[in-house]
Structure 1
Amino acid sequence: MRTKVVATLGPGSSNVETITKMVQNGVRILRLNFSHSDAESFKPVIAMIRQVEKELSIPLTIMGDLCGPKIRVGVIENAPLDIDSRAYVYLGLPDVADKAKDLPFIPLDQPELLQGLEDGMEVSLSDGMLQFFVTETLEKDRLYKLQAQNAGLLASKKGITFPGKHIALPAFTEKDKVDLAGCIEIGVDAIAMSFVQTAQDVQDVLDAMNKHGVVLPIIAKIERQNAVENIESILELASGIMVARGDLGLECKLSTVPVIQKKLIRAARHAQKPVIVATQMMLSMVKNPIPTRAEANDVANAIMDGADCCMLSEETAIGAYPAEAVGYIKEIAEGTEPYYLERIKGPYKPADELVSNPVKYLSYSACLLAQDIDSPAIICHSSSGSSARIVCSRRPAQPVYCLTPDKSVPAYLNFFWGISPIITESKLTNHRDRLVEFLEANDKFEKGEGYILVSGQPTPGQTMPKTNEVKLYYK
């Protein structure tokens, strides 16, 4: 299976037996959700993951998911309220509640959220179950009259979103700063950042990491319209992205989310960055032992869109069948990937670019050569993992193995489609020689076959280490 699986740990899966089964079924990334916990509470879980990693000899990645700004309304008088379609309500700061007595009043104690709100703008409440439009500005940036577009239940302390509006709140909150420090302390391998809107949000986390003397991969969760619009600049700084379709479906019209997913996946692949597709992929398996047909199709379509990873949330955190849910993704992936490779008709050619990119063309050439001789594998050597990442962005039919001497690199490579990271402790200094040594010593690779070796041994005139060699090697 080339597609990687991200599994969220929770009460239903935080034990060695379940983690082991999930890893055997294809999980390579374990997600820790910091929305309801802190670093100290995750220490026992991390010990379990490291135990499984050692027992199975499979590098695993622990991803801490920072919760970001929680945008919720306050306490609504006499809630919950039944709101009829076309009914009116007020939305405003708590100190103007006395001016809005004739209709239900929804308090919001974050003034910055109301700044710039104008007549005609959308407001979504109760996780998208209630949709409103602003019909009248009673006090600019303080009090507004809204009209419901559908009927539903209005309760206190529920989430509120403003589709298409820039939210003037930092994505990196004070709680996130504490949790980031905790993640670094307990040995988390990567960070997922919630509610990213601009590249500056990612830079804020990078700056905080630098103060701790550590730089971990950052996965920017794309769940705001602004993030979709700024995706290219976000990808320049982020290590990868997550298509977080739950909140994205509240920010954007639900009918547009499938196309947005495809565009985000394509943008990430062009940037040689991994992309995770998340939210409700196997949601029915929280209670049921098999997924629905629609869920199976959803997973398959994400794979055919070119996603690197599929993520499970409630399915593995609180579900009754966590290992089985992962198993179904594995089964679907193994059935879908051959068709995906058949459909793209060979590795992706690099897009025409304004600047020369010899590394990308060398990687593409390696994939073409592997296809031409029907090679069983492409084997890369890379100190940073860059060579393997660029090769996998071309989507070769062959599995990609990446040898690296850096023990921190596999944690990032686990996010990438088709890559199996391997720590090498070879005493040989030449990168190509290390690949040959690995190939000859490994019984997995049959004799008489041609293998493609990709390496980046610096030469005297080369100022930075980059992929500079592709070799056809017959074992």
Structure 2
Amino acid sequence: MTFISRFAIRTSATLQMLLPRVDSAKFSNTANSKNENKSEVVLDRGPFSSQLDYQSRIKFNSPALGYPLSGIICTIGPASNNEKVMLKLIEAGMRVVRLNFSHGSYEEHYAAIQAAREAIMAYTRKIGVYKPVAIALDTKGPEIRTGQLSGSETAEVDIKQGDQIKLSTQKDMETKGSKDSIYVDYKQLPKIVKKGNLIFIDDGQISLRVKEMTDSEVTCEIVNGGKLGSRKGVNLPGIPVDLPSVSEKDKKDLLFGVENDVDMIFASFIRNAEAIKDIREVLGPNGKHIKIISKIENQQGMHNIDDIINASDGIMVARGDLGIEILTEEVVLAQKAIIAKCNKVGKPVICATQMLDSMQGRPRPTRAEASDVANAIFDGADCVMLSGETAKGKYPMECVKCMAKICAKVENVLWYDRLQNEVRSYMKSSSPDNISAIAAGISEIASTGEASAIVIASPCPIVPNLISQFRPRCPIVFLTGERRVARQSNIYRGIYPIVPEIMSHGCEDFKSILAIGLQNMAKMKIVDLSKPTTLMIVNALQAERIIFRLMFTK
């Protein structure tokens, strides 16, 4: 493999001819205010002698980037399940649509997929260029649930602290639950629990302590009571379970995803690497292109985290169920460890659950929630996710805008030199290859030359994904002819995919592709090309001959 680099920053007449005419007034107010504020507050890029030195020199009023480099994932539900709202979510910064298959019918999910695609095409018509937005199917996963209470699906019973309740695995109890006895759909329960074990029900709202077991029942003392409804989730923290990797419902849901051409699977309750193989088998040859993002939600998943990362296309830190399975004070440590492990090997990682939860009913987040989003970016997350905030909240668009602002603010003050040096050092000590070396060089030169964007044309995502691992401080504009590849790139930090139609039709002329790419960049408002701009241009159309050049345009 050979690669050619030209390091000099220069004015390129050729590139200048390719640049579209752009009215700078069309660019967002955020971008304009960013440029205005630069004269008032100058970013401190270092060098820094230590983490303490770096943090002490962060300016709280430093300008934000005009765009977030981190991806934003939005869960679709009653508050957003229509084309009009989804169009606004895309305009606000949504890059991935999440469909939660723990709820809803196939008819509802099909309608959501169609509405999402209509919204994508509406936005495409609005800006004049195809906008890649991914669609993700989030499985219900193998889980343990209680049965139905006597009376109806909506019935509730009040269970009180200090009382006793029996958990029965007998099928004849499935619809006969009461305050004294409820059905649990895990036959092995009496065999795996021990006296003194804690059992949580309904996302930890109700907690029980095991007192005794028989062949088909577990008698528990109620530690924390409350209102108990039908078919609630059951968690067994610290207790290994042998549930199937893929439930019968999951199999049907996965095949639905294949039929409807979803881009990725968010696989729930992954406990080991074998589960990913089982999911791949269900997806079959027609679904081999679908990316599998493993959700880490229990202690078994944490114990096997390295194997799961290696087998997966990405990881989600699903802090909801994880926060029940492990101690509350341990969740933040697990988050940091998982994100760092993914950063080391270049796998995209998503931070999820209750990030802006109070915004379901309020137009502004709490300060703690704003800090939570910011710290996920400081930790190194590629994406952050909204759940109930956009699925059933009153302010879905405001949530996305708020999250985008927080991400952009933090991303502009990160200690990029340290981030890149740490990744580079790790790669040298592990298994370096030519492609990784090229990606490292591109990222470093782009940062040193203060490039406004890295523009890379490539038929496959390997090079842009590797560049993303080195965390450049500018967007990575990925020009590809494959719409699916473009959509799936949205879960990598910093990648803004563009699909020049001439690439879709087989064109391999880099100059022509670049010309279209630059025009589309302007339409998507990624970079203001009406002003003097430094760009890192990368021709990766041929893997054996990658050419990159840092160029300055007038």
Shorter-chain TM-score: which interval?
0.7 to 0.9
Report the counterpart of residue 319 of structure 2 in structure 1. Answer: 245
- Following TM superposition, by how much is the alpha carbon of 1:13 offset from its aligned partner in structure 2, in angstroms? 1.1
- Following TM superposition, by how much is the alpha carbon of 1:4 offset from its aligned partner in structure 2, in angstroms? 1.2
> Structure 1 residue 173 and structure 2 residue 247: aligned?
yes
Aligned partners of 2:236, 2:87: CA distance in 1, in Å?
41
Q: Structure 2 regions of 5+ residues with no counterpart?
A: 1-67, 125-130, 174-178, 523-527
Q: Deviations over 1:55-107 (max 9, x none)?
A: 3231111111121234212356896243225x54443423799xxxxx93343
- The farther-off stretch of 343-352 and 384-393 is 343-352
Aligned partners of 1:345, 1:64: CA distance in 2, in Å?
32
Q: Are 2:356 and 2:386, in contact at CA under 8 Å, matched by a contact in 1?
A: yes
> Structure 1 residue 80 and structure 2 residue 164: aligned?
no
Report the counterpart of residue 63 of structure 1 in structure 2. Answer: 136
Change (3 A) 1:64 1:109: closer
Q: Are 1:90 and 1:104, in contact at CA under 8 Å, matched by a contact in 2?
A: yes
Report the counterpart of residue 372 of structure 1 in structure 2. Answer: 448
- Following TM superposition, by how much is the alpha carbon of 1:439 offset from its aligned partner in structure 2, in angstroms? 4.9
> Structure 1 residue 37 and structure 2 residue 104: aligned?
yes
Calculate the aligned-residue CA RMSD, in Å: 2.9
Say which SS state the counterpart of residue 408 (structure 1) adopts. Answer: helix
- Following TM superposition, by how much is the alpha carbon of 1:121 offset from its aligned partner in structure 2, in angstroms? 2.9
Report the counterpart of residue 100 of structure 1 in structure 2. Answer: none
- Show the 5 A alignment for 1:314-333: 314-333=388-407
Say which SS state the counterpart of residue 451 (structure 1) adopts. Answer: strand
- The farther-off stretch of 428-437 and 376-385 is 428-437
Which amino acid in structure 2 is aligned with residue 232 of structure 1?
D
Q: Deviations over 1:147-176 (max 9, x none)?
A: 444454455532211112222112321112
> Structure 1 residue 337 and structure 2 residue 411: aligned?
yes
Identity level (%): 31
Q: Are 2:349 and 2:383, in contact at CA under 8 Å, matched by a contact in 1?
A: yes
Which amino acid in structure 1 is aligned with residue 451 of structure 2?
S
> Structure 1 residue 218 and structure 2 residue 297: aligned?
no
Aligned partners of 2:321, 2:238: CA distance in 1, in Å?
12
Q: Are 2:454 and 2:537, in contact at CA under 8 Å, matched by a contact in 1?
A: yes
Say which SS state the counterpart of residue 210 (structure 2) adopts. Answer: strand
Q: Deviations over 1:177-201 (max 9, x none)?
A: 1122222222322221111111111
- The farther-off stretch of 358-367 and 275-284 is 358-367
Report the counterpart of residue 282 of structure 1 in structure 2. Answer: 356
Aligned partners of 1:309, 1:265: CA distance in 2, in Å?
11
Which amino acid in structure 2 is aligned with residue 368 of structure 1?
E
> Structure 1 residue 408 and structure 2 residue 481: aligned?
no
Change (3 A) 1:65 1:467: farther
Change (3 A) 1:302 1:271: same
Change (3 A) 1:450 1:81: closer
Report the counterpart of residue 451 of structure 1 in structure 2. Answer: 535
Pick one of 247, 257, 262 that aligns with 2:336.
Answer: 262
Which amino acid in structure 2 is aligned with residue 237 of structure 1?
A
Report the counterpart of residue 461 of structure 1 in structure 2. Answer: none
Q: Are 1:69 and 1:195, in contact at CA under 8 Å, matched by a contact in 2?
A: yes
Report the counterpart of residue 429 of structure 1 in structure 2. Answer: 508
> Structure 1 residue 227 and structure 2 residue 301: aligned?
yes
Q: Deviations over 1:218-237 (max 9, x none)?
A: 11111111112212211222
Aligned partners of 2:186, 2:544: CA distance in 1, in Å?
48
Q: Deviations over 1:285-332 (max 9, x none)?
A: 212122222211111111211111111111111111111111111121
Report the counterpart of residue 10 of structure 2 in structure 1. Answer: none
Pick one of 38, 41, 54 that aligns with 2:121.
Answer: 54
- Show the 5 A alignment for 1:347-426: 348-350=422-424, 351=426, 352-424=428-500, 425-426=502-503
Report the counterpart of residue 462 of structure 1 in structure 2. Answer: none
Which amino acid in structure 1 is aligned with residue 92 of structure 2?
N
- Following TM superposition, by how much is the alpha carbon of 1:275 offset from its aligned partner in structure 2, in angstroms? 1.4
Change (3 A) 1:43 1:81: closer
Q: Are 1:196 and 1:222, in contact at CA under 8 Å, matched by a contact in 2?
A: yes
Say which SS state the counterpart of residue 396 (structure 1) adopts. Answer: coil
Say which SS state the counterpart of residue 320 (structure 1) adopts. Answer: coil
Instruction: Report the count of equivalent residues.
Output: 461
Change (3 A) 1:430 1:272: farther
Q: Deviations over 1:104-126 (max 9, x none)?
A: 33432421344422234332123
Which amino acid in structure 2 is aligned with residue 420 of structure 1?
Y
Say which SS state the counterpart of residue 339 (structure 1) adopts. Answer: coil
Change (3 A) 1:466 1:128: farther
> Structure 1 residue 127 and structure 2 residue 203: aligned?
yes
Aligned partners of 2:166, 2:115: CA distance in 1, in Å?
50
Q: Are 2:251 and 2:282, in contact at CA under 8 Å, matched by a contact in 1?
A: yes
Q: Are 1:92 and 1:142, in contact at CA under 8 Å, matched by a contact in 2?
A: yes
- The farther-off stretch of 22-31 and 39-48 is 39-48
Q: Structure 1 regions of 5+ residues with no counterpart?
A: 98-102, 459-464
Report the counterpart of residue 161 of structure 1 in structure 2. Answer: 235
Which amino acid in structure 2 is aligned with residue 405 of structure 1?
G
Pick one of 85, 100, 111 that aligns with 2:187.
Answer: 111
- Following TM superposition, by how much is the alpha carbon of 1:391 offset from its aligned partner in structure 2, in angstroms? 0.7
Q: Are 1:202 and 1:237, in contact at CA under 8 Å, matched by a contact in 2?
A: yes
Q: Deviations over 1:418-470 (max 9, x none)?
A: 11001132465366884477459966446865432344454xxxxxx478554
Report the counterpart of residue 205 of structure 1 in structure 2. Answer: 279
Aligned partners of 1:442, 1:69: CA distance in 2, in Å?
43
- The farther-off stretch of 177-186 and 394-403 is 177-186
- Following TM superposition, by how much is the alpha carbon of 1:397 offset from its aligned partner in structure 2, in angstroms? 0.7
Report the counterpart of residue 89 of structure 2 in structure 1. Answer: 22
Change (3 A) 1:145 1:282: same
Change (3 A) 1:115 1:406: farther
- Following TM superposition, by how much is the alpha carbon of 1:214 offset from its aligned partner in structure 2, in angstroms? 4.0
Say which SS state the counterpart of residue 133 (structure 1) adopts. Answer: strand
Which amino acid in structure 2 is aligned with residue 302 of structure 1?
A
Say which SS state the counterpart of residue 383 (structure 1) adopts. Answer: coil
Aligned partners of 1:91, 1:441: CA distance in 2, in Å?
60
- The farther-off stretch of 247-256 and 211-220 is 211-220
Pick one of 311, 318, 325 that aligns with 2:385.
Answer: 311
